């Protein structure tokens, strides 16, 4: 492909390269081998500046460099205002604008993104028989083919490559989680969404965004690059995130007035049900996924598919056939035991409050919470989660989550600062495996144990190393040990 074709739609400040030159590949990752004929994109990262690699890239055969910093040496280069946005546009052009061949649906918010995207995919497949691609925290999917992922939204060039693979596989829709990092770092740069949806906003990623206002405003950018939108009106950040949005909007709510409302909500241990009210239409909705937040997730899904032209009746019928989402209020089988174990990904104050409040409504015995907080993340939420976890449970086991590069005990000490209940309301067990076993040892008839924070993850990250830790396996091993 000629360089001039790759540069279409890009904001170029200076052009010091032959636009007619043929480009073999685009490389930005300095860990990858650069081949003769490649175009190198120098990204100014947080830990490493790709501009320091320019000389080596040229020596390996790169024919030109795209950069936001003017090179010191006389080499072929294209100076751009944003290196990350440039990489996004390069990906779009290199792969032939693949997103334009599909209906694009983006879901943003602190909690609920995974459930909403998976349920939306299910409705589209069930009602329309469509092939649907999915990009999310747990996995990427092309139809039913699983493609592993390490972050919520891939880097922009790989994202376009994934879109191209979906197009080649015949996907008509792409449903994706859109994180605030993906927006801020232009991973979704140049992508226009047919529908964008907002679930909720609570404290998270403040090491990166610094303030909740910045966090909200970053997510709000998504709604100025979409053709239709869905907003949770019950969320306290609704007014700010929806300000200035000019596309057609559907608002959802279970408490306040909205275009799409949930009425007559009923929660049981194995499901939730409610009446969805949209304009003059009322439809019964039931999902085999417990928890009050399931109502909000379902409303968001219904809002999305309504914007896509699917009827409320058809969407509700499809939701009734959905299965639970791994790591989201997931029931772990405990045959022969009188208590229940639930696994949930709740790793934010709002997420922990939601899951414990929801479980409380159908818990007939004691509610036992097992939770910790992640390392290398906003430390300000730790005492908040300590208070929530102990206030909303009958007993809490404070343990480790993914300490990453921090001292696990130091994280726990931060959690303890927020606890106001007496020492008889909680125990500290740093080793997460031992914490799970302790909770199961203490559980009695009708108790519910909530293992919060890990969800779908099957590892624990300590000092940069991911060690195997699947809580389903831990529960099963405990049951096997205690039977013998």
**Average pLDDT taken over every residue of the chain:** 93
Comparing C-alpha atoms, which of 143, 120, 145, 119 is closest to residue 131? 143
In 3D, which of 260, 197, 269 has the Cα closest to residue 229? Answer: 197
**Which pLDDT tens digit goes with each residue over 335-355?**
999 999 999 999 989 889 989
Q: How far apart are CA 126 and CA 119, in angstroms?
A: 10
Residue ranges per structural domain of the chain: 3-81, 98-319, 330-483
pTM of the entire predicted model: 0.81
pLDDT for position 378: 87
Domain 330-483 top-level CATH class? alpha beta
Query: What is the distance between the alpha carbons of residues 194 and 247, in angstroms, rounded to a whole number?
Result: 10
Instruction: Give pLDDT, residue 7.
Output: 97
Angle (CA) 345 325 301, round 5°: 105
For 98-319, CATH gives 3.40.1190.10
Evaluate if residue 145 carries a pLDDT over 70. yes
Write out pLDDT tens, residues 206-258: 667 679 899 999 999 999 999 999 999 999 999 999 999 999 999 999 999 99
The domain 3-81: what is its CATH number?
3.40.1390.10
| Cα atoms in the 13 Å half-sphere on the side-chain side of 226 | 32
**Average pLDDT of span 362-378:** 94
The average pLDDT across 57-75 equals: 94
Q: Tens of pLDDT along 11-34?
A: 999 999 999 999 999 999 878 889
Percent of the chain with pLDDT over 90: 83
pLDDT band for 203, please (50, 70, 90 cuts).
low
Looking at residue 220, the DSSP 8-state letter turns out to be H
CB 396 within 8 A of CB 389: yes
Instruction: Give pLDDT, residue 153.
Output: 65
Give SS3 for 293.
helix
Q: Which residue in 86, 77, 65, 59 sits closest to 17, CA to CA? A: 77
**Beta strand 281-287 with 272-278: parallel, antiparallel or unpaired?**
antiparallel
> Which residues, other chains included, contact 254 with Cβ-Cβ below 8 Å and sequence gap of 6+?
234, 261, 262, 265, 274, 295, 296, 299
Q: What is the pLDDT of residues 411-423, one digit of tens each?
A: 999 999 999 999 9
Q: Cβ contacts of residue 309 below 8 Å, gap of 6+?
A: none
Question: Quick one: pLDDT at residue 29?
Answer: 85
Residues 6 or more apart from 459 whose CB is under 8 A from it?
A: 466, 467, 468, 469
């Amino acid at each position: 492909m000629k360089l001039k074709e790759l540069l279409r739609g890009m904001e170029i400040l200076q052009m010091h390269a032959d636009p007619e030159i043929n480009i073999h590949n685009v490389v930005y990752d300095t860990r990858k081998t650069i081949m003769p004929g490649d175009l190198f994109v120098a990204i100014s990262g947080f830990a490493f500046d790709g501009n320091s690699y320019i000389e080596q890239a040229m020596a390996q055969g790169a024919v030109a460099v795209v950069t936001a910093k003017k090179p010191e040496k006389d080499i072929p280069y294209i100076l751009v205002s944003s290196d990350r946005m440039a990489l996004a546009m390069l990906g779009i052009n290199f792969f032939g604008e693949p997103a334009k061949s599909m209906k694009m649906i983006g879901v943003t918010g602190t909690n609920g993104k995974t459930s909403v995207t998976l349920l939306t995919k299910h409705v589209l497949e069930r009602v329309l028989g469509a092939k649907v691609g999915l990009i999310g925290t747990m996995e990427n999917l092309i139809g039913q083919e699983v493609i592993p992922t390490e972050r919520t939204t891939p880097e922009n060039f790989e994202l376009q490559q994934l879109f191209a693979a979906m197009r080649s596989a015949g996907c008509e829709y792409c449903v994706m989680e859109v994180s605030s990092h993906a927006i801020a770092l232009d991973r979704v740069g140049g992508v226009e969404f047919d529908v964008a949806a907002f679930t909720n906003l609570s404290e998270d990623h403040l090491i990166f965004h610094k303030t909740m206002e910045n966090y909200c405003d970053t997510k709000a950018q998504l709604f100025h690059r979409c053709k239709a939108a869905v907003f949770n009106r019950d969320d306290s950040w609704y007014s700010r995130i929806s300000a200035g949005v000019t596309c057609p909007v559907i608002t959802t709510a279970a408490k306040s007035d909205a275009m799409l409302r949930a009425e007559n909500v009923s929660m049981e241990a194995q499901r939730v049900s409610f009446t969805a009210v949209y304009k003059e239409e009322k439809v019964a909705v039931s999902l085999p996924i417990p928890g009050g937040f399931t109502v909000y997730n379902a409303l968001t899904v219904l809002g999305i598919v309504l914007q896509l032209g699917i009827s409320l009746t058809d969407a509700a019928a499809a939701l009734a056939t959905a299965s639970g989402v791994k790591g989201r209020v997931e029931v772990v089988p405990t045959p022969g035991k009188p208590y229940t174990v639930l696994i949930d990904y709740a790793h934010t104050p709002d997420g922990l409050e939601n899951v414990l409040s929801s479980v409380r409504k159908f818990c007939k015995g004691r509610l036992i919470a097992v939770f910790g907080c992640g390392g290398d993340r906003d430390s300000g939420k730790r005492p908040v989660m300590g208070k929530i976890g102990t206030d909303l449970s009958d007993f809490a086991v404070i343990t480790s989550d993914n300490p990453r590069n921090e001292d696990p005990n130091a994280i726990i000490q931060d959690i303890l600062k927020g606890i106001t209940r007496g020492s008889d309301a909680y125990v500290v067990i740093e080793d997460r495996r031992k914490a799970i076993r302790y909770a199961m040892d203490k559980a009695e008839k009708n108790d519910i144990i909530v293992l919060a924070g890990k969800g779908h993850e099957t590892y624990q990250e300590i000092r940069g190393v991911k060690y195997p830790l699947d809580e389903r396996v831990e529960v099963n091993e405990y049951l096997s040990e205690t039977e013998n």
